[in-house]
Chain A
Amino acid sequence: MPAETSPAAAPAAYQARNSDRYSNAGATPDPWVECAKLTYGADRSFAWTVREQVIATPPEGYGRVEEKLLKALATPGRTDAGLAFLCQMLALVASAKSVPVLAPLLRADATADAARYALERVAGPEADAAFRAALGSLTGNTKAGLIGSLAVRGDTASQSALAALKDAASEPPVVREAAARAVEKLNSAKS
């Protein structure tokens, strides 16, 4: 069979085989999308890739990484584990730019803990305002957690609201106790 032995035919056959092989593999998944769809117990290699990129980013690149993480938060099919992971990464680099995206998550009982994980590390009035605003939206345990964040952040502007919660008969004990501790902490920080 001359065609099989000719010098020109051999490379063409080789290329065809490789083409088949790679087209079957499909497009390479984007770790910044896949990490948002992380599920508990599943392989977390994509999240690891993202983590490695985040921690290797120099300070001048924090803004760029922050934008990628915020974009990933909007991934369709985002999971609870994905949200938790992305917020853990945002805790390392987030700035005031993250506040508008995280604030709605902070106001929902189901996502407030994840949002606090990122936002508690963000200094500045924008984050302070988001925490204070969420006081009126959360209930029970998550509200108590939010109150703890206000105290840890040393937000003295929240003191009057916390003092009112401390004595609010409408609130469950967990909220009143958290408010009392927060007021005590903020008072001791001032003295």
Chain B
Amino acid sequence: MHSSLPRPVSRREFIQKSSLATAVAAVPLILPSGLRGANAPSKKITVGIVGCGNIADSHFPPLLGSPESIHVLAVCDVDRERRETGAARVNQAYGNNDCRAYADFRELNRRPDIDVVFICTPDHWHALVAIDAMRNGKDIYCEKPLTLTIAEGRALVDTARKYDRVAQHGTQHRSMKRFHDVAEFVRNQGLGKLDRIECFIPPNNRFCGATWTPEPVPAGLDWDMWLGPAPWRPYTSIGCHYNFRFISESAYGQVTNWGAHYLDIGQWALDMDDSGPIEVEGCGEFPSSGLFTNATKVDFTVRYANGVPMHCRTRHEGGGTVRFVGERGWLDIARDKMSASDNALLREMQAPNKKIQLALSNNHHDNFFDSVRARKRPIADVGLGHRTTTVCNLGQIAMVLGRKLKWDPAKEEFVGDEMANRLRTRAMRSPWSLA
């Protein structure tokens, strides 16, 4: 499947291309002038990490564990303590003091010796950091959800295509064999005619009261830069690291946090990686006061052109999971468990030589770096990441509006609902924009 896709250009080719571009328009923060004449080692891939919080924690071990092929050169965070801790972690692993810590991602993105950028920021920053990195010749690994809004996702994908970048979405379930096997089994009609898909996501795990108190910004935190394109609000410790995901200016709660994983497997099994549902309806429960604004109870359903519905609901026990229900029974799969209405289905699922075979990756990082070297699209290319993130957005918008909506996946717009269409995007706080 992937071999037929257009081939992203190598970094070396990009440098040659961009050198021509910079010859006619030398605008330092826009065109990759810093790349001219510079080449990263052809075998060892150099890495910059933007965002040094808990999501980055999961990336450090694999990135630092392969010094023969991967070298982390720089980290960036708007929180001084976090970036210094990140840099110290890298330096300790390498036994030197070479890792540079940046407060502004644009400086990291302009380093000519960095090949790829890992984006581990809050969601409201994903699109801007990724687009800036790709404009500067970097390949990217962008954590989930790919973007905050649908418009941001389209812009990010268009940028990846325009600059021929390798761009992986951080939905690592795509590189876990059990999810691959289920998607492939369903795609091959292993469950017979598919009746429905049921995704369960965990509830919000942080809560706050009806009021909150603005606090002084801690020393070392650039709050203005932390907010970036999000609407301004005063700092409060309960609305910053990690908890941002429960505030709709920054993220859509568990809809995008876990939904990005489990809805993604539904999209994969339905062969919807370049499309999406045609209808959505939902009724979430939202807090009427307090700092957190995202749904405390999620309940929405998207429906595809083949008639199959995919439900997404909050479940208070049992964690995240996706269940496929067909005429032959059901399969239930999570990161750490798998069950079926009949064990024979699990055995059948493992059988080789299925008619339709999906691309197989056993490690999301390895797949990304292999793709960077081979200049091919990775297992969770941002194109399909955008489509999955769109499903999350559709659910969010339907719950906010509380009504059934028609969606045109080709045009990426709602049919006959102006208010819903306006929710596909939002103006960014100055000076940021998608331009």
Chain A interface residues (CB < 8 Å from chain B): 40-45, 48, 55-56, 59, 62, 81, 84, 88, 91-93, 112-113, 116-117, 120-121, 140-149, 151-152, 166, 173-174, 176-178, 180-182, 184-185
Contacts and interface: CB of A to CB of B under 8 A. Distances in A.
Nearest to B213: A41
Contacts of B236: 41
Contacts of A145: 427-433
A48 B289 contact: yes
Interface string B206-242: 0000111110000000000000000111101000000
B27 interface: yes
Given A43-B211, A113-B430, A142-B430, A55 B30 contact: no
B402 interface: yes
A191 B334 CA distance: 46
B308 interface: no
Nearest to A39: B214
Nearest to A115: B427
A185 B30 CA distance: 12
28 contacts: A40-B214, A41-B211, A41-B291, A42-B211, A43-B211, A44-B289, A44-B290, A45-B289, A56-B402, A93-B419, A117-B231, A117-B427, A121-B427, A141-B431, A144-B430, A144-B431, A145-B428, A145-B433, A147-B435, A148-B432, A151-B435, A152-B425, A152-B427, A152-B435, A177-B28, A180-B27, A182-B435, A184-B30
Contacts, number: 112
B433 A149 contact: yes
B289 A43 contact: yes
Nearest to A52: B288
A45 B30 contact: no
Contacts of B427: 91, 113, 116-117, 120-121, 145, 149, 152
Interface in B362-409: 400-402
A84 B234 contact: no
Given A84-B231, A91-B426, A146-B430, 6 more contacts: A41-B291, A55-B400, A55-B419, A92-B422, A116-B427, A145-B427
B305 interface: no
Chain B interface residue count: which class? 35 or more
Nearest to A142: B430
A178 B431 contact: yes
Given A48-B289, A84-B231, A177 B27 contact: yes
B9 interface: no
Contacts of B429: 113, 145
Contact of B433 (A41, A92, A140, A148): A148
Contact of A92 (B30, B233, B419): B419
Chain B residues touching A, majority SS: loop
B93 interface: no
Contacts of B435: 147-148, 151-152, 178, 181-182, 185
Contacts of A121: 422, 425, 427
Chain A residues touching B, majority SS: helix
A45 B293 CA distance: 12
Interface of B: 25, 27-30, 210-214, 231-234, 236, 288-291, 400-402, 418-419, 422-423, 425-435
Contact of A180 (B30, B401, B418, B433): B30
A41 B289 contact: no
A149 B427 CA distance: 7
Nearest to B27: A180
Nearest to B31: A180
Contact of B428 (A62, A143, A148, A181): A148
A185 B427 CA distance: 16
A142 B432 CA distance: 9
A103 to B, nearest CB: 15
B430 A152 contact: no
B431 A174 contact: yes
A157 B231 CA distance: 28
A5 B27 CA distance: 92
A179 B27 CA distance: 11
Nearest to A120: B427
A45 B288 contact: yes
A123 B150 CA distance: 19
A120 B149 CA distance: 15
Contacts of A48: 288-289
A150 B430 CA distance: 13
A92 B425 CA distance: 11
Contacts of A56: 402
A121 B419 CA distance: 10
B372 to A, nearest CB: 26
A165 to B, nearest CB: 12
Nearest to B429: A113
Contact of A40 (B233, B423, B425, B433): B233
B433 A178 contact: yes
A176 B27 contact: yes
Nearest to B209: A43
Contacts of A185: 435
